Structure 1
Amino acid sequence: MAGNSFGEIFRITTFGESHGKAIGVIIDGCPPNVTVDEEFIQNELDKRKPGQSKITTQRKESDTCQILSGVFEGKTTGTPIAIIIPNEDQKSKDYDHNKDVFRPSHADYVYHQKYGIRDHRGGGRSSARETAARVAAGAIAKLALKQVGIEIAAHVSSVGTIDAPHVDISSVSEFEALRESNIARCADPATANEMIALIDSVRKAGDTIGGKVSCTVKNCPVGLGEPVFDKLHADLGKAMLSINAVHGFDYGSGFDGSTMRGSEHNDIFDVDTDGKVITRTNFSGGIQGGISNGMDINFRVAFKPVATIMTNQQTINKDGQIDEIKGKGRHDPCVVPRAVAIVEAMAALVVLDHYLRNKVYR
Structure 2
Amino acid sequence: MTNVLDFSYETRPVRVVFRPGAAVSATPGEAERLGLRRVLVVCGARGAQSARAVADALGPVCVGVHDRARMHVPVEVADVAVQAARAAGADGCVAVGGGSSVGLGKAIALRTGLPLIAVPSTYSGSEMTPVWGLTEHGVKRTGRDAKVLPRSVVYDPELTLSLPVPLSVTSGVNAIAHAVEALYAPDTSPLVALMAEEGVRALARALEAVAAEPTSLEARGRALYGAWLCGSCLGATIMGLHHQLCHVLGGTFGLPHAQTHTVVLPYVLAHNAPAAPEAAAAVARALDAADAPTALWELAGRLGAPRSLAELGLAEADLATAAAQTAGQAYANPRPVTADGVLSVLRAAYAGTPPTAR
Q: TM-score range by the shorter chain?
A: under 0.3
Bigger relative CO (Cα 8 Å, ≥ 6 apart)? 1
Larger Rg, first or second structure (1 or 2) = 1
Greater share of strand: 1
TM-score for both structures, normalised by structure 1 = 0.25
